[in-house]
């Protein structure tokens, strides 16, 4: 289970809507295993196919039980939001594809997502709070949308400026 390279903002695959998974096979299950390994290595909450350069509608996340410290990895294939609350919440978001910066983003407080597990079995999940934010963020990735697209033009410009300075500092060291 190799750790895959995470695509960074500017990569075309991050801006291209991902295609539906048609084959629930060993290749898909291998991709999912690699994505979990990559997500854990990068200490992320979720990871979408395009973020590892694979333009397929699949994402992984971990519903860790903080009290018990137990991992609860889940993969969703061809997910779609079928219900979304009218109520919204504001909260910080970051992204493994835009490392080092975060910003407050407004999201629905709860969503219902339908899709499939890697074996092709139907899945329906209801989420609220942080998990709802993760679902919306990862499904945005599958649609070619980054969290910076949810910001006002001014906030986006400021965030991108901070990110550019971070990247220049990393390259200079």
Q: Active-site positions?
A: 138
The strand ranges marked E within 35-109 are 46-48, 58-62, 73-84, 88-94, 102-108
Give yes or no for a contact between 128 and 116, defined as CB atoms under 8 angstroms apart: no
Look up tokens 């006002």; give the residue.
152
Give yes or no for a contact between 72 and 63, defined as CB atoms under 8 angstroms apart: yes
* DSSP 8-state code for residue 70: B
Cα–Cα distance for residue pair 101/160, rounded to 1 Å: 9
Cα–Cα distance for residue pair 7/110, rounded to 1 Å: 28
Tell me how long the chain is. Answer: 173
Buried b (16+ CB within 10 A) or exposed e, 61-80: bbeeeeeeeeeeeebbbbbe
């Amino acid at each position: 289970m190799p750790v895959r390279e995470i695509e960074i903002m500017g990569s075309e695959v991050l801006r291209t809507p991902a295609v539906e998974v048609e084959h629930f096979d060993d290749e898909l299950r291998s991709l999912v295993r690699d994505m979990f390994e990559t997500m854990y290595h990068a200490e992320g909450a979720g990871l979408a196919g395009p973020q590892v350069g694979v333009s397929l509608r699949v994402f992984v996340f971990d519903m860790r039980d903080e009290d018990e410290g137990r991992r609860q990895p889940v993969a969703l294939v061809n997910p779609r939001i079928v219900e979304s609350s009218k109520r919204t919440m504001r909260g910080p978001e970051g992204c493994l594809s835009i490392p080092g910066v975060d910003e407050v983003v407004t999201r629905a407080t709860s969503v219902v997502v339908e899709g499939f597990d890697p074996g092709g079995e139907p899945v329906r999940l209801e989420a609220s709070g942080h998990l709802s934010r993760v679902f919306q963020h990862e499904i945005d990735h599958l649609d070619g949308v980054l969290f910076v697209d949810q910001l006002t033009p001014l906030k986006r410009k400021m965030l991108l400026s901070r990110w550019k300075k971070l990247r220049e500092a990393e390259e200079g060291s």
